[in-house]
Amino acid sequence: MRKLFTPILVVASVCGALHAQQTPQYSLYQLNPYAYNPAYAGTENTLVATGVYRQQWSNLKGAPETQHLNIHMPLYFISSGVGLKVENDAIGAHRSTQALLSFSYHLELGRQATLSAGISGGYLQYGLDGDKLRAPEGIYADAGVFSHNDPNLPEGKVQAGTTVVEAGLYLQWKELGLGVATQPAFAPVLETQTNGAFRLKPARHYLAMASYRVEIGENLALRPAVLVKTDFIETQTEISAVFRWRENIFAGASLRGMSNSARDAVVLLGGLRLNERTTLAYSFDIPLSALEAANRGSHELLLRYELNKPIGTGKLPPIIYNPRFF
């Protein structure tokens, strides 16, 4: 779910302030649940690193472009997990960069269920490039004349920063995963009393995700999932189904937006394991919203690395080298 203002061309001023709130959109959320929920850190019992590049609404000038990198791992000796998330999100004249550290505590509920509670903390840096803005009364001559003729809009780059806190719960019971989390999106508010000055206003978002694995046969499995995002003003629901063949190849589809007002895209996705530790995935969003005529869809590429062995569970056995491989 995204709410945008001033993508790049037009600036609207209401009651002396400008508002925006932005949360990055990911179509491959099933492969990257830690991006949405800090309680997921360490629940896979090994070190996991994920990188994502997303180009949203391609061919639309000023459209969102996101880079995301995270890594998380368990800490068995205190029944916990830790993680790090770094994200850069650019939308037209706006750019936000954040880095957060996460800690989660895992509580076993019997032999087949684990409840995790997690929290993240970090810093978000927001920047606005006034040179990319255009106002209706502005003067933008080729001879170097540049003026918005609006005291609320900056000329040049301005920045502001703030601390960030996220929290979540995650329950894993057999093949069922359930998670709820809250993430802050910060709205830059341009103040009228000072030319170009602005502050960051928190606009909290809430997320819920559920997934379940169904064994169809010896080699085929299905994982349906649902992701709900809301700020209690607008709500967007995404449903997905992914088929996996022999744990090596997978393909599926999603529908984002279940109502006419929230309908966004149909997502086609697929991927494969390059080796025992590395997975590559790609998704393409077919637009369904009012922006359908102005863009050629969205692209997302994900690369995931899994160490595939426990960490910190005891002293490793001695290494015996085979001379055949020297």
Task: Decide: 287 and 295 in contact? Cβ < 8 Å.
Answer: yes
Name the one residue in this structure whose structure tokens are 């426990």.
Answer: 310
Q: Do the domain assignments include residue 22?
A: no
Q: Looking at residue 14, what is its pLDDT?
A: 30
- Residue 76 three-state SS: helix
Q: Do the domain assignments include residue 314?
A: no
Compute the distance between CA of residue 283 and CA of residue 115 in angstroms, rounded to an integer: 30
User: What domain count does the chain have?
Assistant: 1
Q: Do the domain assignments include residue 13?
A: no
Q: Given its phi and psi angles, is residue 258 left (phi above 0), alpha (psi -120 to 50 degrees) or beta?
A: alpha
Low-confidence ranges of the chain (pLDDT < 50): 3-20, 314-326
Q: Do the domain assignments include residue 242?
A: yes
Structural domain for 178, as ranges: 34-308
Token pair in block for residue 82: 């830790």
Q: Do the domain assignments include residue 17?
A: no
Token pair in block for residue 230: 């809301």
Compute the distance between CA of residue 1 and CA of residue 318 in angstroms, rounded to an integer: 51
Query: For the segment 287-325, what is each residue's pLDDT rounded down to a tens digit?
Result: 998 888 888 899 999 999 999 887 766 444 444 444 443
Domain of residue 169, CATH code: 2.40.160.40
Q: Do the domain assignments include residue 149?
A: yes
Q: Looking at residue 312, what is its pLDDT?
A: 64
Q: Do the domain assignments include residue 281?
A: yes
Q: Do the domain assignments include residue 133?
A: yes
